[in-house]
Structure 1
């Protein structure tokens, strides 16, 4: 088979491992099956992806994290080329969904040996753009923007500036500036809303929860101060019964509309901070994305569970 690999130089794991080391790993592991290898960052990265897809390989291997996966997916769906994601980001939620706990070397070795299957990955859409893990509004993207500024800072002055920007937020982030509604909910306000593709516990990979297929779990948080943030952060990390907290409202939806009070609605989509003009609409696409995944992946297990429940 003919594979092309694209590396996102700005992904967290790529920066830690080194681009050259990852290029050597791909070349050594895939051998003659690797017919193209590109690495790029920033605005150049989408051009590298489209150039790779234009060569019509049998599969595209994207090396990066969840933000990388979202960028690549938008082009791969249109091109109809099977794609997979090797874990080189921060949380790697989507790569883990396709490959479990395998590291980059193991993912590349499995592809080289043909130890994978083609599967259909459900695609969620936000204003016509795909995402696969979660979209967050309000408090979370406020801190996500600061984290991104700190991560990309090239000097200690810029890193210090990002931290000071976070301290300057004060209590503004606890105002209920996010408005949302779904097919089962009237319009409500909250300081923080998280919409996950499937079970929200997938955000904590060590719990081994399958993401599920075909629905959103929406989590609205009622936060009044920093103490609430610290308490809920600890509770969601350590306990499975976090949904029982009175400051949390969890519900399922197939479609949801989110807006805010400003002209721009900031959000964190698959780990990437961005903004859109409100309101924004979240739904599921009728066309899944063709992916390369291990036969024992969490995606395959989730699909098997769904098929079993439908059969019974």
Structure 2
């Protein structure tokens, strides 16, 4: 754990820095920041702590960089909130970023989830890049407080998308295809298809009539291509009637906009009640989760405040 203050003298040189601090964003009041770093996560790497300190030292900002180690995650996160910073930067996996954002809620400090995980769905949506250093500078120099909407199901919060049902494993298949890992993508797709038709979902939207589907995809307004206003989650019901349609839908999910598939229907919703005969496989912002056989998904208009450029520079939308 290291404290730095960019306006202090350069300890190595023994005299003040020659260069003036870089300009912080005029859209947010930033005096103190905490940055949580997990060097073992995704694409972070062992040099991330030193690299983060070097970047933060360019700004007139009191900062604290905390390395997350096995066994100290919960305490380190609690200490970060106890320090009452203006913003908490999170350079860690997708699950850690979700946990910190969920703890912040709308009244907590701003959260800046940097791309340090595998899928990086939330960071990509906010900063439009998979480069955490670029995302950090964009937050520091262009960021402003933004209310991020999302959803909640069985105590799990999501800010990009939740996939419920047997095709949930199409999400890692799509990510593998995005990174050029074609064989891995089809391996994920085949595994998802083997589980298809083993247990269909029954669901209702906002108390409406109960329907059946192979899977539900619930997408936050922040990254939905189909929604212009944050007035609910985009609920997309996937309902292939046989194996051939399932293969076509899987291909569309990998290669194109799956909304154009005739087996998909979408509409906004604020409450989604879901039932199945057995536990429901799901992917919540890229993290696999096994839900109970009955679950309710709620839309949260203001889930937490992010420090991000406006409008969000989303690299990818769903």
TM class by shorter-chain length?
Answer: 0.7 to 0.9
SS at match of 1:86: strand
| 2:35–2:64 contact (8 Å) kept in structure 1 | yes
Asked if 1:297 is matched to 2:312, the reply is yes
**How far off is 1:82 after superposition?**
1.1
45-54 vs 209-218, which moves further:
209-218
Matched, 1:214 2:244: no
Question: 1:146 and 1:296 mapped to 2: Cα distance?
Answer: 29
User: C-alpha root-mean-square deviation of aligned residues, in Å?
Assistant: 3.5
Alpha carbons 1:260, 1:279 under 8 Å: kept:
yes
- Please name the residue that 2:216 is paired with: 193
1:258 to 274, 283, 297: 274
- Aligned residue runs from structure 1 range 146-161, under 5 A: none
Note if 1:234 corresponds to 2:280. Answer: no
Q: Which residue of 2 aligns with 1:68?
A: 96
TM-score (norm 1): 0.73
| Aligned equivalents of 1:10, 1:239: Cα separation in 2 | 33
**Structure possessing the higher radius of gyration over alpha carbons:** 2
Residue matched to 1:275: 290
How far off is 1:218 after superposition? Answer: 1.4
Please, which of 48, 55, 68 is the counterpart of residue 22 of structure 1?
48
Displacement after TM superposition at 1:143 (Å):
6.5
* Residue 218 to residue 118, structure 1, CA distance change in 2 (3 Å): same
Q: What is the match of residue 115 of structure 1? A: 142
Give the Cα–Cα distance (whole angstroms) in 2 for the partners of residues 198 and 40 of structure 1.
Answer: 31
Residue 141 (structure 1) aligns with: 168
Equivalent residue number for residue 39 of structure 1: 67
Structure 1 residues 271 and 99, CA, compared in 2 at 3 Å: closer, same or farther? same
Match of 1:7 among 33, 37, 58: 37
Query: Once the 2 structures are TM-superposed, how far is the Cα of residue 211 of structure 1 from its aligned partner?
Result: 7.6
1:123/1:288 contact within 8 Å kept: yes
Residue 26 (structure 1) shift = 0.6
Give unpaired runs (5+ residues) of structure 2. 1-30, 175-185
Residues 4, 60 of structure 1: 8 Å contact kept: yes
**Deviation for aligned residue 1:93:** 2.5
